[in-house]
Amino acid sequence: MTASSYREALRQAHREALARDPRVFLMGEDVGKYGGTYAVSKGLLEEFGPQRIRDTPLSELAFVGAGIGAALGGMRPIVEVMTVNFSLLALDPIVNTAAALRHMSGGQFHVPLVIRMATGAGRQLAAQHSHSLEGWYAHIPGIKVLAPATVEDARGMLWPALQDPDPVLMFEHALLYNLEQELPAGAGEVDIRRARIRRPGRDVTLVGYGGTLEKSLEAARILAQQGIEAEVIDLRVLRPLDDATLLESVRRTRRAVVVDEGWRSGSLAAEIMARIMEQAFYDLDAPVARVCSEEVPIPYAKHLEEAALPQPAKIVAAVQNLWGNR
């Protein structure tokens, strides 16, 4: 076992992909000489040169489109969008071109690119830089949506994503870059098709991903002190959702709480709840509950930002409330 940060795990994943396949290159704002807004690409320009580590103009519409063109031309681009809110400037090439081209061409063309971006709140960056919009992208057929929440997944998701013939979006919660965890010896590729049970339990299933995983695990530790053993599922893959792992857990625990940093209305949490109700209704001992961000633009003030986001105490309260239905 070796200790690594989430940031360093991502950097190592890039380094190995670049060394392994000459078609792989990284492009985005400040990824070169500056080393990336979150220092993920620090040192890669010196190691691989400006042909492989390409700084772009400040135009997401332009450089995401260029990435799609490079993928169509046989390359394997990694496109870094600084934060998820900036990806809205590239919705047209992502949704109307990358996601649809395989279908529109009758399977003749594929767009094998990976788009990485930081997501989430908690850093006092106020309403325009604190979005959690991965649920929007999980709505779109034709793309795969990943949310690495551990150092091992940050290390192991990039290479299999680059092997996918269709577009893959990776959402990295900005609070995770400094996360330190032990990496198993020989850590390599991970399965980008399945969710993972991060903590086994018998009484309730907590479903989280990305920035909500550690909060769910903390809530599970608090609940254990109260005699409630929570099973914690890390979705990891937001599209396509791994219904099998989710439903197998819920059928055992008979209760579920979905934790999602997205807003409640039209959220990914709502989709997960619907799937549980559609496929496991008669296995439930209580209605499915959810903990989402409050229906407000994320505030700047730290105490208000914390109040607006899912927190372990809110998750614990949601779980405790399920027993009122017994």
Active site residues: 60, 129
Look up tokens 């010196």; give the residue.
46
Question: Measured between alpha carbons, how far is 314 from 217 in angstroms, rounded to an integer?
Answer: 13
First to last CA, the chain: 44
The angle that helices 213-225 and 312-322 make with each other, rounded to 10 degrees, is 50
Question: Measured between alpha carbons, how far is 276 from 279 in angstroms, rounded to an integer?
Answer: 5
Residue whose C-alpha is closest to residue 261's, from 234, 294, 231, 287: 294
Question: Measured between alpha carbons, how far is 138 from 169 in angstroms, rounded to an integer?
Answer: 9
DSSP string, 100-162: THHHHTTTS-----EEEEEE---SS--GGG----HHHHTT-TT-EEE---SHHHHHHSHHHHH
What are the structure tokens assigned to 92, written together? 């047209």
Q: Is 5 exposed, middle or buried (0-12, 13-18, 19+ CB in 10 A)?
A: middle
**Phi/psi of residue 75, each to 5°?**
-85, 175
Question: Measured between alpha carbons, how far is 132 from 35 in angstroms, rounded to an integer?
Answer: 24
Determine contact, residues 269/286, Cβ cutoff 8 Å: no
